Amino acid sequence: MPQPGGSWRPQGHPATRPHEYVRGGTCKVLTLFHPATGQVHLQPVSSCTNPILHRWLKERLGVILATLPAPAAPPDAAAPRAAWEAWQDGLAERFTWPAELPPLRMLLVWDNLAGHKTAEMVVWLCRHGIMPLYTPLGGSWLNMAESIQRILKRRALDGQQPRSPAEIGAWFQQTAEAWNRQPTPFLWNGKRRQRRRKQRGDAHALGGSGAHTRKPLSPRGRSSQEWHGPRQVTH
């Protein structure tokens, strides 16, 4: 589908796009995002069933866990469970934990979908020290993967006309690789906090979620540690 947006063209020769598009299939982009560093893991797929999603997520999370420092020995047997319970305080719905819990190593924020709550997947996460936290219904803005997808989509597709789902996926991967060479950390912030502080210009909003950055991602933006994912986007 032709995408709106600017592009580099010789003066007097604007880009022209057809008004129709070819139904050549869809490209879904699995996304796992680390707000504290800005690093993004991304995988284009043609289908996003639970087996495909869970297989990719386990592989990516395994790679990330391998880069983390080894967990320190707990001071007592009750310490690991206490760390898990601290993140369950205030939740309306809690899932059943395994009898034995390892040290908590990671928080995984993702959407409140049935496929994200399958017993096999939740048990796998718990066994590897990963706490799944589900955004409330109607609260997708709490998932920062929404923001990074909008940013990557704009950079990859604006002013372009992809010819196939494979081409869309390749462009997304190239854009994500370029982003990861100089990523921008995302911060929790919001309009309410900005109104209370009554200071302009000290944070910059990001589309689609409650995240902000200290520096704008583009000149136009100068005017007014958990992982988020996985998300899929269809074009």
- The string of DSSP letters for 161-179 reads ---SHHHHHHHHHHHHHHH
Q: From first to last of the 235 residues of the chain, give the pLDDT tens digit.
A: 777 777 777 888 877 777 777 788 889 999 999 998 999 999 999 998 999 999 999 999 999 999 988 887 777 777 888 888 888 887 777 777 877 888 999 999 988 888 888 989 999 999 999 999 888 887 777 788 888 999 999 999 888 888 889 999 999 999 999 999 999 888 776 555 565 555 555 556 655 566 666 666 664 444 335 566 765 544 4
Tokens 């986007």 -> residue: 233
Identify the CA nearest to 110 among candidates 176, 61, 71: 61
pTM of the model: 0.73
Domains of the chain, by residue range, sit at 25-67+78-183+225-235
pLDDT value, residue 224: 36
Pick the CATH number of 25-67+78-183+225-235 from 3.40.50.300, 3.30.565.10, 3.30.110.40, 3.30.420.10: 3.30.420.10
Burial class (CB in 10 A: 0-12, 13-18, 19+), 34: buried
* Cα gap 88→97, rounded to integer Å: 11
Q: Which residue has the tokens 């139904």?
A: 23
The confidence score (pLDDT) of residue 43 equals 95
